[in-house]
Structure 1
Amino acid sequence: MKRITMRGQTVEEAVEKALARLHVSKEAVDIVVVQQEKKPFLGLFGGQEAIVEVTVRDPFHFVESFLKHVIEQMNVHVQLACQVEGERLVVFLSGPDVARVIGKHGQTLNALQSLAQGVLNRYTDRPLRVVIDAEGYRKRREETLVRLAKNMAKKAIQMGKDISLEPMSAWERKVIHTALSDDDRIQTFSAGTEPHRHVVISLKR
């Protein structure tokens, strides 16, 4: 959860400043008054500012609201369901237009997940994650990537040279690295810069 401490001439002013900084409504936060304001004695000395501690209550709420807004703007018929699993929010998308949300090789889905993660990071200081799936696409894509990794590793060994795969998202590259991590004949590493970063399968020498 995101927590900030703010000062103000009054408690109300300190709270308003904190809400403006966080870009949230008062209903979305918990407020603790650390120090009440105190007017200076005879208007000259002894005064003190108010101090409040404001904490965002449910950062996942903002992610869900963001995604609903984006889907509405995309003008697609897609339903959204959210499930909290420990330190991550899993978002399931379904509906007749879900293929449009997935995009080619999951590019649209990955971009949506990246944006959602950015929103979440704005409202929490904890290492929380957002995972967006669309009618089981992530699982199917993972299985495809594992098969690709195994086939390309076999090819690299047979040909005796490095093989560079197509550019992939960070999640897809991780799947490739993990799939080949137990093969003591080859090693994998990422090369290039986004959006052209890709996995290289290399023989161990």
Structure 2
Amino acid sequence: MRKSLELRSKTKDEAIKKALVELEVREEDIEITVIQNPTKGFLGIIGAKDGVYKVSVKEKKQEKKETEIAKEFISTMLKNANVDAKVNVVQEGNLIKVDIEGKEAACLIGRRGETLDSIQFLTGLALNKVNKDSHLRVLVDIENYRSKREKSLVRYANKAAREVAKTRKTKKLDYMNPYERRIVHSALQNDKYVITYSEGTDPYRRLVIEYKK
């Protein structure tokens, strides 16, 4: 693709239109320099001269990948918190997975992962600030906490489901974030005896297990 061109035109606007066609770019991607202003001449005809313009395509800045942004954001946060940990980032489809390794990092998990969820939320905001059109999601984990929590939730869900199936009494579980509610819904979606649904609004939204009539 051509980076620049010099052309003659009666007006600056006309020069821009010509340049956009020839360079095959958008107006916000070009810079225009007036080499010589057009002259109208006598009576607007005799001695009139077109202007001379140089149009150049702007150099695009090297944009950081979302994975790099996520890693830098969390690494800076860990440094500011004086937490010694390693940050690993990989992208799987439209999901950016961030794994934080290090015993010191465990203090950032919080009660039921609340602090971890806040870190994940802020990381997502950092990505959206750079690229508002990004459709990528972020999943942040510390010392494999989410996998352990998932197994614990599945056990909890199955135990609660057996209780509901036996007593036929509806059971409301503890407040959970959307990620945890999805785990429970998924664990019980094919259960023969119970159904699940959510009620309330975040952060006080909870999952309900009800006997299947």
TM-score by length of 2: 0.70
Distance 2:107 2:126 in 1: 22
Alpha-carbon shift at residue 179 of structure 1 (Å): 0.2
- Residue identity over aligned pairs, in percent, reads 31
Secondary structure at 1:91 match in 2: strand
Question: Which residue identity lines up with residue 65 of structure 2 in the other structure?
Answer: D
Structure 1: 4+ residue segments shifted above 6 A: 49-55
Distance 2:39 2:120 in 1: 57
Secondary structure at 1:82 match in 2: strand
Q: Deviations over 1:27-86 (max 9, x none)?
A: xxxxx952345568559xx99x99979784512222222111211222222221212223
Where relative contact order (Cα < 8 A, 6+ residues apart) is larger, the structure is 1
Partner of residue 92 from structure 1, selected from 82, 94, 99: 99
1:120 aligns with 2:112: no
Unaligned runs of 5+ in 2: 1-11, 13-23, 41-50
Distance 2:195 2:60 in 1: 48
Q: 1:51 to 1:164 in 2, by over 3 A?
A: farther
1:186 aligns with 2:194: yes
CA contact (8 A) 1:33 1:52 kept: no
1:140 aligns with 2:148: yes
Q: CA RMSD in A?
A: 3.0
Secondary structure at 1:132 match in 2: strand
Question: Which residue identity lines up with residue 176 of structure 1 in the other structure?
Answer: V
Equivalent residue for 1:34? 26
Distance 1:52 1:195 in 2: 46
Larger Rg belongs to: 2
Unaligned runs of 5+ in 1: 1-8, 10-31
TM-score by length of 1: 0.72
1:149 aligns with 2:180: no
Alpha-carbon shift at residue 201 of structure 1 (Å): 0.7
Equivalent residue for 1:72? 79
Aligned residues: 173
